[in-house]
Amino acid sequence: MSEGMGLAKSAGALAGLKVIDLTRVLGGPYCTMVLSDHGAEVIKLEPPQGDEVRDWGPPFLEQATGERDASYFIGVNRNKRSVALDLAKPAGRAVLLRLIESADILIENFKPGTMERWGLGYAADLAPRFPRLIHCRVSGFGADGPLGGLPGYDAILQAMTGLMSVNGDPSTGPLRLGTPVVDLATGLFSAVGILMALHERVASGRGQYLDMTLHDCGLALLHPHAANFFLNGIRPLPMGNPHPNLAPYQQFTTATGQIFVAAGNDGQFRKLCQHVGRPELADDPRFLDNASRVANREALAEQLGLAFAGQDGEALCQALLRAGLPAGPVLAVDQAVQAEHTAARAMVTELPLDGGGTYRALGTPIKLSRTPGGTRSPPPRFNEHGADVLAGLGYSDAEVQRLRDDGVLHDTRRR
């Protein structure tokens, strides 16, 4: 493998696992990228029109073929092989079934009921034929309940699960989080669930079905707001940067920029006050313990703000961190990805490409000592591996060409 940054240095903890990925957009592809970073073979089956996030730009990467792929696609589809297959056609489903014969995991995010209409439902069709298969379905709301079968997108679920209601501040009202946190969390929860099912399969020898929804995963992110509501019955409101249960835990202005400071216990608060030259604040009756500080958060923020105002924020954060106190500068995205510690942790991966240029993306945060994962190959072009994958299944050149002629295998995207 070429020398680069954040590249896989081992076969990976999941080497030998085969994943058939029928997902598009973000939640499912993010899950399969996590698995692929750690050695799973992921075959991404795209519909004839391709994964629609190839068009979610600008910015775009222009391909030598004249096609272009958006950064949205590039960021979550490395280490995969692309096959463009029309599953609406019986011959396409026949190829899928042949792929599943040697697969451990099938993950899809079709509208609930689609796989069943195709004769590919887990309970009735796949489990009897492939008893060791783990089938993960990612959907908006699941198949049952009042919203069962309805579509879901990240922002819609941020709205419906209460996440937007606790983001922002009183002046903004409910505010969408700047990252698609529900999609990303669903991908992560799906990866966790798949690994649980794999572990259980060691003992039972049997696969199982995972019913993963954006709705459930979005709700699962509501801590501590849901926990607070369950205990006090009060509707949580958006507070901006402060924490509903801790003080100080917010952003402050310094002479050189914004910083974020937190104190998780009374000892940390006392130490913070000493460090910024205001030891008397720790003995103020309004600030003696966390409950008092929360009740008097505005007065506390005013006093700390005065203490921080004339200081060099970066230097102050370094000093506080080295003293064991949580603090950090508020960085923009470009600053964060170019930070020295980001490079030291290989959290930006760079892979030189054979035709010139470099693939750059966020690296894997999962650091394993004996079987480290990382980037193995760049995101695939549309159907880049179609002929090779089918040849590996035993299809002859003539059979592959027939699939092309019949509109089952697609070399270019349907527009």
How many CB atoms sit inside 10 A of residue 273's CB?
Answer: 22
Residue 238 lies in a domain: no
**48 and 190 both lie in a single domain:** yes
256 CB-near residues (< 8 Å, 6+ apart): 312, 313, 314
Average pLDDT, whole number, for the chain?
96
| Cα 102 to Cα 133: distance, rounded to the nearest angstrom | 9
| Cα 393 to Cα 101: distance, rounded to the nearest angstrom | 10
Question: Of the candidates 300, 271, 268, 298, which has an alpha carbon nearest to the alpha carbon of residue 284?
Answer: 300
278 pLDDT more than 90: yes
Average pLDDT of the residues in 250-256: 96
Residue 234 lies in a domain: no
Report the relative pairing of strands 249-254 and 257-262 from DSSP bridges: antiparallel
| Cα 23 to Cα 46: distance, rounded to the nearest angstrom | 8
The set of catalytic residues is: 183
**CB 373 within 8 Å of CB 34:** no
Residue 229 lies in a domain: no
Give me the percent of the chain exceeding a pLDDT of 70: 100
pLDDT score for 27: 97
**210 and 105 both lie in a single domain:** yes
pLDDT in tens, 373-408: 999 999 999 999 999 999 999 999 999 999 999 999
Domain of 181, in residue numbers: 18-221+342-405
| Cα 396 to Cα 400: distance, rounded to the nearest angstrom | 6
Assigned token pair, 179: 């990252």
pLDDT score for 4: 83
**CB 206 within 8 Å of CB 131:** yes
Q: Total domain count for the chain?
A: 2
- Could you tell me the CATH number of the domain that includes residue 388? 3.40.50.10540
Question: What is the signed CA dihedral for 94, 100, 105, 110, rounded to 10 degrees?
Answer: 0
For 257, phi then psi, to 5°, come to 145, -175
183 pLDDT more than 60: yes
Q: Among the three residues 315, 337, 359, which one is the final residue of a domain in this structure?
A: 337
**75 and 149 both lie in a single domain:** yes
pLDDT score for 187: 98
Residue 122 lies in a domain: yes
- Could you tell me the CATH number of the domain that includes residue 269? 3.30.1540.10
**24 and 142 both lie in a single domain:** yes
Question: Of the candidates 98, 95, 107, which has an alpha carbon nearest to the alpha carbon of residue 135?
Answer: 107
Residue 140 lies in a domain: yes
pLDDT in tens, 192-204: 999 999 999 999 9
**189 and 307 both lie in a single domain:** no
Residue 241 lies in a domain: no
Residue 27 lies in a domain: yes
For 263, phi then psi, to 5°, come to -135, 110
252 CB-near residues (< 8 Å, 6+ apart): 258, 259, 260, 261, 301, 304, 305, 308
pLDDT score for 1: 45
pLDDT score for 178: 95
Q: Among the three residues 286, 318, 337, which one is the final residue of a domain in this structure?
A: 337
Question: At 121, is the secondary structure helix, strand, or coil?
Answer: coil
**47 and 91 both lie in a single domain:** yes
pLDDT in tens, 141-174: 999 999 999 999 999 999 999 999 999 999 999 9
**203 and 281 both lie in a single domain:** no
Question: Of the candidates 366, 372, 371, which has an alpha carbon nearest to the alpha carbon of residue 347?
Answer: 366
Residue 377 lies in a domain: yes
Whether pTM > 0.75 for this model: the answer is yes
pLDDT in tens, 329-376: 999 999 999 999 999 999 999 999 987 889 999 999 999 999 999 999
**CB 286 within 8 Å of CB 301:** no
To which residue do tokens 């929804």 refer? 213
